[in-house]
Structures are given as C-alpha cells and as structure tokens.
Amino acid sequence: MANRDSIHRFLFENFPVRGEIVHLDATWQAVLERFDYPPHIRTVLGELMAATALLASTLKFSGMLTVQLQGKGPLHLLVVQCSNRMALRGLARWNGDVPVGTLSAMTGDGRLAITVESPEEGHRYQGIVPLEGETIADCLQNYFRDSVQLPTRLWTATGAQGASGMLLQRLPQQPGQSNVESDDWNRVQILADTITADELQNLADEVILRRLFNEDDIRLFESAPVSFRCGCSRERVERMLRGLGREEVESILEDEGKVEVRCEFCNKAEDFDRVDAIQLFEGEGPPPPAGKLH
Ligand SMILES: [Zn+2]
C-alpha cells in the first residue's frame, strides 16, 4: 500500500463533534529503521506516535508538543515529539524483559506529561496526569478528561507497515446546532467503537467515515502531511558539550580518544576529536593544568 503520511480533519455538520484520522507510514518506518524494538514495545510506541499527532492537531501552538510516559516498570520511558508542522520523532527505553500485556503491566506506576512549548511566543504549558489505563488511548483520554475538559475518544492501531489513529472530540455547542448533543456524542462513540484495527489501518479515510457514520453529514477537510524529522544537529551537540565544560570533554577524550554523542531519537552520531574539541572551546582561555586532581 502507498505511504499515506497524513492527518485528516472532519466535522459533524449537525452537532459539535470534530474528528481527526492520522496515518503514519514512512514516518513510522523511519522510527523503526533507527532502532530495533521488540514487537510489543513497537506497538505501544506506534500508538503513542499516532495519538500524539492527533493531540497536536487539536492544539494551537507554534513549537513543539512533547508527550512523555515515565513509569517505574520495565518499560520506563516513552517520548514522542510533534512540531506544529506535524514533524514527529519518538523513542522508547526499557530494562530487561518487558512483559507482554497491558500498558500498565509494561510501564508500572508512573505519569504522563504533556508539554507544549511555543518558544517564539515565550509560552510553555505542562499538564501531568497519573499513568492509568490499559492502552495509550486510555491514558490520553484521561488527560483530555482531567486537563482539557473536552470529552475526547481515541482509537489507535499499529502494524508492521504503519501506525494509524482516530480521534473524536465533543466541542462546546455552537449557536444553531441541535441540543441533543449528548445523545449524538454517545451515538458516534458507539459507532466508532465498531472500527477494527485492520479497517483503521487499511481503508481510505472517506470509506472509514462512510462505514462508521453513514447517516451523518460530515465535512471532510483537506488532509495535511505528516513526516518524520529529528531536530538534532551538530550545533546543538556543540552547545551541549560547551555546557558540559572543557575539563569534562578533555577527560572523555583522554579515556576514549574521541567524544561521540549519539542522538537518542534518530541514532545519528556526532564525533569530536581533539582538534574539534579545541575549536569548541576556542576563546575560553588556556586549558586546565595537566595532572589536576579530581
Ligand atoms: Zn536526531
């Protein structure tokens, strides 16, 4: 099947519910190419990537959305970032054998932190909810319930080829719309619950909507592209090494012969040899005296 890296917004015409459908194909493959994840970890990471793209599409921001799950269990970290241009990256970290089971069995107790940074506007927002639920969708739904106070449902599916997701969100009532919104909201959720993982991943969005909501008037907007992009760069690594300090960098050079910094998201390595290190700290005065005691 062709790569469909896109997010597609839709609206119910007669009551205030909106939706989004996302497909990550090449985006998801780009994550898998860089790290070898066990299948069950791959599944939750794919779900989190789809869910993060859906969450980003419901927010207004001009920077970076970061969704981070931190647990006390073997799967202790999942991070996905999505820019306002829908460029995504993600990673998972675990120790030892991660049991195959529900999300809570894998991650243990923990928290879900959602951070939105809009550096140009100087805004930073963070919402934290306990890590509760069987799936990534449950966790995010808890976040919407507790922090956003807009009833929201999510469905996700991850396979070898791609990660897909669908979101429905009940919006505040608009003038002129029916006031049986609560009934409609319940009805569209029941209909949406009938979608299978296979349908969500493989059917065209128009077909999904027609199958699920064939009695409703739906406005489907133009889809927007989604992509993989890692924002790492040599300049950023240089800034980080300067922050670490000359002494520390010298000491790594002494031990290792070079300083290698590997990006956790895209696995790209930046190497710094002795000459690079000298250039890094140029203009900072003489190096520390040799033989200094630590
Ligand atoms: Zn990177």
Ligand 1 centroid to Cα of residue 203, in Å, is: 32
What the block records as the tokens of 187 is 């009805």
Distance 262 CA to ligand 1 centre (A): 8
pLDDT at 98: 93
pLDDT of residue 91: 95
Classify the C-alpha dihedral 173-177-183-185 as positive or negative.
negative
Q: Are 153 and 189 in contact (CB under 8 A)?
A: yes
**Cα-to-centroid distance, 177 and ligand 1 (Å):** 46
Q: What is the DSSP letter of 119?
A: G
pLDDT of amino acid 180: 52
210 Cα–ligand 1 center, Å = 39
- Residue 90 C-alpha from the chain's centroid: 6
* Ligand 1 centroid from CA 84, angstroms: 18
**121 vs 118: CA distance, rounded Å:** 6
CB 19 within 8 A of CB 166: yes
The alpha carbon of 265 and the centre of ligand 1 are apart by a number of angstroms equal to: 5
13, two tokens: 């015409």
Backbone angles phi, psi at 288, to 5 degrees: -65, 150
Q: How far is the CA of 17 from the centre of ligand 1 (A)?
A: 37
148 C-alpha to center of ligand 1: Å? 31
238 CA to centre of ligand 1 in angstroms: 14
CA of 136 to the centre of ligand 1 (A): 24
Q: Which two tokens stand for residue 3?
A: 């790569």
33, containing H or E segment:
helix 26-34
Residue 60's pLDDT is 87
Question: Contact at 8 Å (CB) between 237 and 270?
Answer: yes
All residues at 6 or more sequence positions from 56 whose CB lies less than 8 Å from its CB, including other chains: 65, 82, 83, 84, 86
Phi-psi region of 176 (alpha: psi -120 to 50; beta: other; left: phi over 0): left
Gap from CA of 76 to ligand 1 centroid (Å): 20
Domains in the chain: ranges and CATH: 6-228 (3.55.30.10), 234-280 (3.90.1280.10)
CA 150 – CA 291 distance, rounded (Å): 62
Q: Looking at residue 202, what is its pLDDT?
A: 93
Name the residue among 210, 294, 209, 208 with its Cα closest to residue 250.
294
C-alpha closest to that of 77 among 35, 48, 39, 50: 48
Residue 278: what are its φ and ψ, rounded to 5°?
-60, -45
Strands 110-118 and 64-71: antiparallel
Q: Using the mean position of ligand 1's atoms as its centre, give its distance from the Cα of residue 266 in Å.
A: 4
Question: Ligand 1 mean position to 118 CA, how many Å?
Answer: 20
What is residue 182's predicted lDDT score, i.e. its pLDDT? 74
Residue 181's pLDDT is 58
From ligand 1's centre to the CA of 47, what distance in Å? Answer: 21
Considering only CA atoms, give the Rg of the chain: 23
What is the whole-number distance in angstroms between the Cα of residue 100 and the centre of ligand 1? 28
Helix (H) or strand (E) holding 25: none
Say what the pLDDT of residue 25 is.
95
Provide the token pair at 101. 């089971």
Query: For position 288, what pLDDT does the model report?
Result: 54
Residue 179: its pLDDT value, please?
57
Up-side HSE of residue 140: CA atoms within 13 Å toward CB? 29
| Model pLDDT, residue 282 | 84
Residues of the chain with pLDDT under 50: 1, 292-293
